[in-house]
């Protein structure tokens, strides 16, 4: 067994970018961890997780993967695993008995993909290692995903503190993400707090760094007078034992005079709120988050077509109820923004459609929603979309599958919802059902069929060659405008005679038969789908 004394000042390290691997090695103590392969630019540690084939890339970012049975994996599986972890920006792998011949394959795979590999001494058990790292992480750990009930309680707590102080309150996790905030009419607020609420994160800044260090170094309430753009504040850390969970900050309109102590009422309400908030966060960490992770894993298996026997039970699906699949296409947003969208969508759906489960797959937020019709879900999502734009600054488009009774696999429903969302984005429709984008879905199916075959008209092949863009664009417009030179000219911003000349030249040069309806349809289809996504 290895004992570890973690000083409270550990919370004073930079808290926004994770725990550097070298710090982990040093703080674990001599001989606990050995570097078997050092990555050139190792990813900072946000958490630890056991190796599980069902874990998706979104869950692997910043994670140190505990590989408990590497000897059972052949060279191909080790190579694929290291490639996956590298792509997902995992922190690395920790394994036991990897220094000798039995670990040569793992070392080689990590070296091939420049992935950090640590060897764990046999004197430390896996559960103990997990607990030690979790304790060391402190404020460097990944942000919490609170369940709906815990989130609602925290908002109520924030309002009760704001009532006593008369100023805006923010309850934050250990990565400065704002979990809850007060919303009382007439409460005092400044621009920094307003900005934090809009982004759900406290802005970075030198003064903020100093203040956070002071708050986490103190055992009681810290107070700060007006400074720069900051209104007077009182703050208290949230802890579970010695582990920092976050903090609670309140604007105190009458708090400029630090020589005047806080009233007993203010002190009591702030301390009580901090104690209750810590309990809610720990409960959410232990139960809500673990339960959500199990549900998300089951959801991803159903959507990918590889369900387990009890996945429907884990998701709470009933055979007599209808369900539909939702996909949110937010374009190429950052991973953090995608997480914001998932959290906001999860909270919204859990209120209006209890039993909904959200996850992230292949860059899109997806959800299973219990509903017998698309209309109420679409109306509800239209209320959610402005909030998503406010959170991330990106426009989001939603696609829904048709509701139906549950089946062993939901892969077809998932693929349909994703395609509908992509069509919605292409057509700038906020929320789309399959019926609303049926022509676009048909065209995409045609595109898939053509890509999977060698069928192509010779004239289409010529028009798709390099240097034929002008002719291709003109003919596509000609076909779509049913041979109307004036409409084509207006569409392309050229003279009518230019349109007629281009069509005559193309017809003569390529031997086009624009009078054959079948050949005309096939040519239009191939030109139309040439640039389809």
- Please check whether residue 106 is in contact with residue 67, taking contact to mean a CB–CB distance below 8 angstroms: yes
3-state SS string for 178-204? EEEECCCCCCECCHHHHHHHHHCECCC
pLDDT band with cut points at 50, 70 and 90 for residue 327: very high
Q: When comparing pLDDT for 107 and 153, which is higher?
A: 107
Q: What is the model's pLDDT at position 36?
A: 92
Q: When comparing pLDDT for 120 and 2, which is higher?
A: 120
Could you tell me which CATH number the domain at 148-284 has?
3.30.450.40
- Asked if CATH classification 3.40.1390.20 holds for the domain at 21-139, the reply, yes or no, is yes
Q: What is the pLDDT of residues 470-504, one digit of tens each?
A: 777 877 787 777 778 888 788 888 888 888 888 78
C-alpha span between 335 and 48 (Å, rounded): 19
Give every CB contact of residue 55 below 8 A, 6+ residues apart in sequence: 49, 297
C-alpha span between 350 and 150 (Å, rounded): 13
Residue located via tokens 């009760």: 160
C-alpha span between 526 and 296 (Å, rounded): 40
Distances (CA, A) of 276 to 144, 281, 282, 347, 491: 16, 9, 10, 21, 65
DSSP lists the bridge partners of residue 348 as: none
3.40.309.10, 3.30.70.270, 3.40.50.460, 3.40.50.261: CATH of 318-448: 3.30.70.270
Q: What is the model's pLDDT at position 292?
A: 65
C-alpha span between 123 and 390 (Å, rounded): 50
**Can you state the angle between helices 148-165 and 264-283, rounded to 10 degrees?**
170
C-alpha span between 516 and 508 (Å, rounded): 15
Query: What is the average per-residue pLDDT within 75-83?
Result: 90
Nearest CA to 48 out of 67, 32, 72, 33 is that of 67
Residue located via tokens 């009890």: 310
Please report, for the chain, how many H helices and E strands are present, in that order: 20, 15
Best mean pLDDT range from 28-37, 201-210, 362-371: 362-371
C-alpha span between 94 and 118 (Å, rounded): 5
How many CA within 13 A on the CB side of residue 7?
6
Q: What is the model's pLDDT at position 242?
A: 59
Q: Which pTM value belongs to this model?
A: 0.42
* Arithmetic mean of pLDDT over the chain: 80
Q: Which of 9-13, 210-214, 326-330, 406-410 has the lowest mean pLDDT?
A: 9-13
**Can you state the angle between helices 148-165 and 335-352, rounded to 10 degrees?**
90
| Domain residue ranges in the chain | 21-139, 148-284, 318-448, 456-531
pLDDT band with cut points at 50, 70 and 90 for residue 326: very high
Could you tell me which CATH number the domain at 456-531 has?
1.10.10.2840
Q: Which of 122-136, 363-377, 502-516 has the lowest mean pLDDT?
A: 122-136
Q: What is the pLDDT of residues 227-262, one digit of tens each?
A: 887 899 999 998 866 567 789 999 999 999 999 999
């Amino acid at each position: 067994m290895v004992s570890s004394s973690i000083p409270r000042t550990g919370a004073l390290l930079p808290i926004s970018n994770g725990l550097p691997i070298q710090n982990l090695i040093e703080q674990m103590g001599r001989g606990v961890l050995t570097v078997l392969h050092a990555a050139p630019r190792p990813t900072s540690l946000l958490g630890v997780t056991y190796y599980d084939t069902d874990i998706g890339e979104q869950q692997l970012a910043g994670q140190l993967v505990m590989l408990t049975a590497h000897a059972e994996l052949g060279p191909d599986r080790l190579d694929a695993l290291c490639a996956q972890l590298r792509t997902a920006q995992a922190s690395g792998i920790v394994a036991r008995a990897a220094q000798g011949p039995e670990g040569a394959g793992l070392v080689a795979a990590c070296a091939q993909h420049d992935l950090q590999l640590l060897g764990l001494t046999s004197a430390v058990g896996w559960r103990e290692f997990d607990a030690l790292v979790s304790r060391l992480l402190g404020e460097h750990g990944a942000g919490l995903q609170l369940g709906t009930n815990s989130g609602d309680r925290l908002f109520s707590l924030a309002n009760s503190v704001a009532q006593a102080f008369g100023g805006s309150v923010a309850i934050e996790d250990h990565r400065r993400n704002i979990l809850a905030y007060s919303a009382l009419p007439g409460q005092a607020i400044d621009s920094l707090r307003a900005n934090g609420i809009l982004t759900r994160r406290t802005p970075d800044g030198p003064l903020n760094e100093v203040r956070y260090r002071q708050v986490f170094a103190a055992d009681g309430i810290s107070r700060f007078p007006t400074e720069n753009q900051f209104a007077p504040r009182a703050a208290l850390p949230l802890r579970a034992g010695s582990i920092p969970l976050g903090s609670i900050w309140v604007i105190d309109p009458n708090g400029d005079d630090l020589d005047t102590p806080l009233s007993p009422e203010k002190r009591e309400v702030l301390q009580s709120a901090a104690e209750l908030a810590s309990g809610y966060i720990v409960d959410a960490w232990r139960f809500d988050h673990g339960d959500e992770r199990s549900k998300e894993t089951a959801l991803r298996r159903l959507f990918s077509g590889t369900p387990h026997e009890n996945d429907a039970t884990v998701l709470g699906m009933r055979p007599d109820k209808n369900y539909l699949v939702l996909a949110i296409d937010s374009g190429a947003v950052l991973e953090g923004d995608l997480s914001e969208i998932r959290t906001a969508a999860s909270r919204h759906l859990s209120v209006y459609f209890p039993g909904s489960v959200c996850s992230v797959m292949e860059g899109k937020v997806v959800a299973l929603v219990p509903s017998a019709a698309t209309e109420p879900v679409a109306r509800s999502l239209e209320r959610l979309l402005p909030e998503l734009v406010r959170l991330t600054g990106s426009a989001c488009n939603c696609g829904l599958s048709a509701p139906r009774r549950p089946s062993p696999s939901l892969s077809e429903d998932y693929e349909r919802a994703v395609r509908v969302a992509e069509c919605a984005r292409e057509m700038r429709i906020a929320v789309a059902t399959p019926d609303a984008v049926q022509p676009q879905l048909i065209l995409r199916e045609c595109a898939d069929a053509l890509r999977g075959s060698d069928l192509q008209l010779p004239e289409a092949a010529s028009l798709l060659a390099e240097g034929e863009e002008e002719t291709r664009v003109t003919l596509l417009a000609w076909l779509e405008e049913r041979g109307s030179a004036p409409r084509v000219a207006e569409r392309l911003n050229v003279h009518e005679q230019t349109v007629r000349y281009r069509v005559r030249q193309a017809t003569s040069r390529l031997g086009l038969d624009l009078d054959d309806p079948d050949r005309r349809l096939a040519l239009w289809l191939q030109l139309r789908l040439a640039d389809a996504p």
